[in-house]
Amino acid sequence: MVSILTGDIINSRKDSVESWLNVLKAALQSSGTKKQWEIYRGDSFQLETAPEDALLKAIYLKACVKTVKNIDARIAIGIGGKNYTADKISESNGEAFVFSGEKFDELKKERVTLAIQTPWETFNYEMNVIIRLALIAIDNWSQVSAEMVKLSIENAAISQLELAELSNKSQSTVSEALKRARLAEILELDTLYRRKLTQQLNM
């Protein structure tokens, strides 16, 4: 099984392409090999990743994009099989692609910026309820909070003091930004997601 993230950039036309495109490219490059991601139709993108990493990578992509003022990413996670691999990810196919595309089409109607679809209905329901609660914090990240979340995910093993040195900010600024971002709770959500996913895959 694989996970496919299908997304687009919210408010992409309200600023210059240069303001967010390089940020998105860098985020995708650090999330997978060139064959695992693609930007298409100007502001849309796809990323293939391992199912267990899908949620954190989606949150990471949102954090990266939200470091740009008034810009956000809308992302649908699909988990399932992959039965055709093409040179471009947008031309590959399988259950994961179908689920990701279907859920992405529903995001605007559901007025959410992140959701998941898998073969397991109960898992979908439970995780999407929890994700919607997490989005109360994520959708309101400031640029500073988004930057701190981005750096924290990229440097998971370092302390807040080291993170402060890396970002050229005071430790109190870093601590407050991460508290406002609810990063500790979001990382707990990722742990729960991984645990419940493992249970489904082992059934």
* Residue 169: both structure tokens together: 């900010």
- Name the residue among 84, 113, 119 with its Cα closest to residue 99: 119
pTM of the full structure: 0.94
66 vs 20: CA distance, rounded Å: 9
Query: What is the per-residue pLDDT across 28-45, written as a single tens digit (0 to 9) for each?
Result: 999 998 889 999 988 999
- Name the residue among 64, 67, 77, 79 with its Cα closest to residue 153: 64
In the chain, what's the furthest Cα-to-Cα distance?
49
Query: What is the per-residue pLDDT across 111-155, written as a single tens digit (0 to 9) for each?
Result: 999 999 999 999 999 999 999 999 999 999 999 999 999 999 999
